[in-house]
Amino acid sequence: MKSISKKSLIKLLVFSIFILCVKSLKAQTLNEIDKAITVKIDSIISLLTVEEKIAMCHAQSKFSSSGVPRLGIPELWMSDGPHGIRPEMNWDNWDYANWTNDYVTAFPALTCLAATFNPGLSKEYGISLGEEARYRKKDILLGPGVNIYRTPLNGRNFEYMGEDPFLASTMVVPYIQGVQQSGVATSVKHYALNNQEHWRGHINVEVSDRALNEIYLPAFKAAIIDGGSWSIMGAYNKFRGQHCCHNQILLNDILKNRWGFDGVVISDWAGTHSTLESIYNGLDIEMGTPSDSNLSKRFPYNNNFLGKAFLDKIISGEVKEYNLDDKVKRILKLMYRTSLNKNRPFGSINTKAHSNTAYKVATEGIVLLQNSDSFLPINSSTNITIAVIGENATKSMTIGGGSSELKVANEISPLEGLRKHFINATIIYSQGYSSESNNKKRNEELKKEALSIAEKANVVLFIGGLNKNNSQDSEGADRQYYNLPYNQDDLIGSIAKVNKNISVILISGNAVSMPWRDKIKSIVQSWYLGSEAGNALASILSGRANPSGKLPFTFPKKLSDNAAHYYGKLSYPGDGENQYYKEDILVGYRWNDTKKIKPEFAFGHGLSYTSFKLSNIISDKKNYKSADTIKISCSVENTGGVQGAEVIQVYIGKENSKVNRAMKELKGFKKLSLLKGESKIVEIYITMDKLAFYDETISDWNIEKGEYVVFVGNASDNISKKIKITVI
């Protein structure tokens, strides 16, 4: 090793001291600012009437809560959603206001963002979204969503970040930091255990403390502690008998006490059910509870649970005013971070930079599931006939789906993108099926037309999947079946009989069954890609962009292979009152690995147009103490013919554990891009706390000593090497 000169050592020491001083000064400055804000808030509290404080704790309209006009304290304005700013709503109903200046950029849904396995891109996504929210004068963005993918039937899975808590935690933090750079608060949702839409308003979830802490809370914890989210939204469902929007365990014991959350808890819309529970169990702002039409049109929400009933209890002395003051102080602190922050930047909307971000996320998130005989990419310079079949080739996917629907300035459909990119090809289109028609004759005509053009084509691109209709990928209801809707399975099988050169492009936020898999060449999981959907998809299909997305959840072969469904109706969807998470910690690939159930496609799976070789996989040592950090290094070489990106994934399992464990769990990953023939060394660091399990005997985390196995590969079912290490 080359020795360091005394002069260089002194320079390094001086620089290190300088950096520490800067960090200390920054922390001191932030601390001083925080103290100054606290003093200011205390002075404001003393000026407020009880009535004014109460008004700040509940809605004044569908998407705003009250300020205090006489003191110049502004209202708080909120907006859906996680992947774009929703159109303006009317003051007191769910109709759109039909403004002409609320068009936005639609970013890919969060399943796509998670599939990128790229935290840096998540930060860019958050920055772009925050700028659009700021331009629209929003103070709180109602997102991101990090509920865990437990069942492929959940209608709202497309808004979330997959089945793995480590992946969701890693991806959500930069998203939040990016949004809040613009002085717009995120409201991470839906806290917690809102893992189905069916019966969401009342179903009571029973789950072990271990599964709660290991699977369902980590992404929320990361969002609060590491991401610093300024608000959080409660869930509709119950947990252990109490609604999540005013739940003692979730909001007080865990969120505010254990995690030290200093922000604002907002109810989901109409998720509030009790005045006393709302007062004492952690809720700060009640939103969406139906207004009282008998009241003044200016104040239709005064009779909410945190309205007049709260006021009466304060005036009577039944409830002490400090309970109200705690809520108002949190709200004022949020305002000083957003609407009262004089230094927050201006926003921007529908910019080229935002379109570029949407395009990058879309192309990096698309997952190539299957590619027999290197069927893809299709050479865009050849003069061939391409049959594009499927309603989703032209159907808008930015509208519908519930609260996340958007009014976009621009949306490139898949068919439009293909025609733009494949200028030398003859492209013929047939709808193939209809999501709107129940007319048997019409559906037979659509099928006949599709088969007719398929026979004439060199290549068939079937663009189907799910959509944003009710009981598909949509808020408010779950899917009813695992198979593709609208007889698409039958249509794909029929096309395969007249043309074998088929690629199925699935537009969805959920896994589906694939009875036709062995009859077709390739499968592309395309998600809901937003404004740049067609451009991104065409870039992947043509090879202009190399697919690098990885599945953020498992595709089971059949529904009963999914852990939630394996245990029957009490596990999903419940008996109408209660449901029991009988699979416990074995969610997604944890279940498949541990029970040795082969999936259709595994978590972390995703192909490329090039190939990669992983070698020289080692750990920095064999024995680790509890304060150590594990370093896994790996040489990655692009052995194929084109530039591409690979995701190195590190899983860890515990042998001979004293508690039940999954065979392995994701604990680290890194995405890297390599030129043709290029190789790089990847280093992935895993802190020892990542090996801990939640020990119910002590109600805390516990690192078990003994032998562990480190699995390194590029998918949960494609492991290149196993390394044994020991915690001493």
| 571/207 Cα distance (integer angstroms) | 10
User: How far is residue 53 from each of residues 74, 120, 302, 314, 371, measured CA to CA in Å?
Assistant: 13, 40, 12, 11, 61
Asked whether residue 3 carries a pLDDT value surpassing 80, the answer given is no
pLDDT at 35: 85
What amino acid occupies position 325? D
pLDDT at 43: 94
3-state class percentages of the chain: helix first, strand second, coil last, to nearest 5: 35, 20, 45
What does the pLDDT read at residue 244?
98
Residue 726, beta-bridge partner list: 623, 707
Reported as a pLDDT band with limits 50, 70 and 90, residue 36 is confident
pLDDT for position 292: 79
SS (H, E, C) 101-170: CCCECCCCCHHHHHHCCCHHHHHHHHHHHHHHHHHCCCCEECCCECCCCCCCCCCCHHHCCCCCHHHHHH
Q: Alpha carbon 708 to chain centroid distance? A: 30
Answer whether 477's CB lies under 8 Å from 437's CB: no
The pLDDT tens digits of the residues spanning 76-105 come to: 999 998 999 999 999 998 999 999 999 999
pLDDT score recorded for residue 295? 63
328-358 pLDDT tens trace: 999 999 999 999 999 999 999 999 999 999 9
pLDDT band at 19 (very low <50, low <70, confident <90, very high): very low
The pLDDT value recorded for residue 34 is 79
Q: What is the pLDDT of residues 265-316, one digit of tens each?
A: 999 999 999 999 999 999 999 999 988 766 666 678 999 999 999 999 999 9
Q: Which structure tokens are listed for 299? A: 């104040």
What band does 192 get if pLDDT is binned at 50, 70 and 90?
very high
As a whole number, mean pLDDT of residues 48-54 equals 97
- pLDDT attached to residue 33: 74
Q: How far is CA 584 from CA 242, 265, 446, 563, 695, in A?
A: 20, 27, 45, 9, 14
Annotated active-site residue in 102, 268, 561, 584: 268
How high is the pLDDT of residue 94? 92
**What is the model's pTM?**
0.94
| Chain centre to alpha carbon of residue 602 | 19
pLDDT at 210: 98
29 or 389, higher pLDDT: 389
What percent of the chain has pLDDT above 90?
92
User: What pLDDT does 17 receive?
Assistant: 43
CA quadruple 269, 271, 272, 273: dihedral positive or negative? positive
Q: Is the pLDDT of residue 22 over 70?
A: no
Longest Cα–Cα distance in the chain: 87
pLDDT of residue 9: 47
Q: What backbone torsions phi and psi does residue 720 show, to the nearest 5 degrees?
A: -85, -35
Q: Is 28 helix (H, G, I), strand (E, B) or coil?
A: helix
Answer for the pair 409, 350: CB distance below 8 angstroms, yes or no.
yes
Mean pLDDT in residue range 168-186: 98
* One-letter amino acid of 447: K
Q: What is the mean pLDDT of the chain?
A: 94
Rounded Cα distance between 266 and 283, Å, is 6
Average pLDDT value for residue range 49-69: 97
Annotated catalytic residue 268: yes
Confidence of residue 418 (pLDDT cuts 50, 70, 90): very high
Q: What does the pLDDT read at residue 296?
A: 62
Distant-in-sequence, close-in-space partners of 525: CB < 8 Å, separation ≥ 6: 115, 366, 367, 368, 369, 506, 508, 549, 551
Q: Does domain 48-63+71-337 have CATH number 3.40.50.970?
A: no
Element (H, E) at 290: none
| Amino acid at residue number 220 | F
Phi-psi region of 576 (alpha: psi -120 to 50; beta: other; left: phi over 0): left
362-553 is a CATH 3.40.50.1700 domain: yes
Q: Where are the beta strands (DSSP E) in 520-601?
A: 522-525, 578-580
Q: Does domain 610-727 have CATH number 1.10.1740.10?
A: no
Q: Choose among 339, 343, 309, 344: nearest CA to 68.
A: 339
Lowest mean pLDDT among 33-42, 45-54, 110-119: 33-42
pLDDT of residue 300: 82
* Strand 264-266 versus strand 140-141 pairing type: unpaired
Q: Is 70 exceeded by the pLDDT of residue 374?
A: yes
Confidence band for 5, pLDDT divided at 50, 70 and 90: low
User: Is-contact 130 141, C-beta < 8 A?
Assistant: yes
Quote the tokens at residue 130: 């925050």
Give the start-to-end residue ranges of the domains of the chain.
Answer: 48-63+71-337, 362-553, 560-600, 610-727
